[in-house]
Amino acid sequence: MTQTLEPTPPADARSSDRVTPRSPTTWTGPKLLIAVTAAALILSACGGASGSNGEASLPGIKEFGLTEEEFARHVEEAQALIAECMAAAGFEYIPVDVKTIEAAQARVRKEPGYTRRTYKEQWGLAVTTRYDNPVRDTGLGPNLAIYNGLAENDKVAYFRTLFGKDPNADFAFTLDEEDFSPTGGCTREAVSQVFTPAQLEGTYVNPKDVLIDADPRIIEAERRWSQCMHDLGYEYESDQDEIIEEYEERLEELTEGEDPSTLTGARAEALRELQDEEIAVSLADLECQIKHTDSVYREVETEVYGQPLG
Give pLDDT tens digits for 191-249: 999 999 999 988 899 999 999 999 999 999 999 999 999 999 999 987 788 999 999 99
The whole-number pLDDT of residue 161 equals 98
Q: The pTM is what?
A: 0.82
What does the domain layout of the chain look like in residue ranges? Answer: 63-200, 215-305
CA distances from 81 to 74, 90, 138, 162, 237 (A): 11, 14, 19, 11, 39
The whole-number pLDDT of residue 238 equals 77
- With both helix axes pointing from N to C terminus, report the angle between 265-288 and 240-255 in degrees, rounded to the nearest 10: 180
List of the chain residues with pLDDT < 70: 1-56
Distance CA 65, CA 198 (A): 13
Distance CA 94, CA 83 (A): 6
Distance CA 99, CA 97 (A): 6
